[in-house]
């Protein structure tokens, strides 16, 4: 999450990070553990950071 938040100019890296997070969370078959992983990313500030990024524009 530290590198994801610090690389704001590198859109390709940010997209790759989000793809990785989605793969990690959705590859788990146990629904309870999946919810746990989602909660951990929320505690790390992913939801708030994505809300901030929603207003960001990029030519890429």
Q: Which residue has the higher pLDDT, 60 or 6?
A: 6
Averaged pLDDT for residues 9-17: 85
E-strand ranges in 1-60 read none
Q: Which residue has the higher pLDDT, 58 or 26?
A: 26
Which residue shows structure tokens 């859109």?
11
Is 46 among the domain residues? yes
Is 13 among the domain residues? no
Which pair of tokens denotes residue 23? 């793969």
Which residue shows structure tokens 């989605």?
22
Q: Rounded to the nearest 10 degrees, what angle do helices 31-43 and 11-26 cross at?
A: 150
Host domain of residue 25: 2-6+21-54
Q: CA distances (Å), 25 to each of 6, 8, 57, in order?
A: 22, 23, 27
- Each residue's pLDDT tens digit, 19-43: 999 999 999 999 999 999 999 999 9
Report pLDDT for 9.
79
Q: How many domains does the chain have?
A: 1
Say what the pTM is: 0.73
Report pLDDT for 41.
92
CA dist 43 and 30 (Å) reads 20
């Amino acid at each position: 999450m530290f590198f994801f938040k610090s690389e704001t100019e590198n859109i390709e890296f940010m997209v790759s990070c989000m793809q990785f997070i989605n793969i990690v969370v959705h590859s788990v078959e146990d629904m309870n553990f999946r919810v746990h992983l989602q909660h951990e990313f929320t505690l790390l500030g992913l939801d708030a950071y994505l809300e901030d990024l929603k207003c960001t524009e990029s030519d890429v």
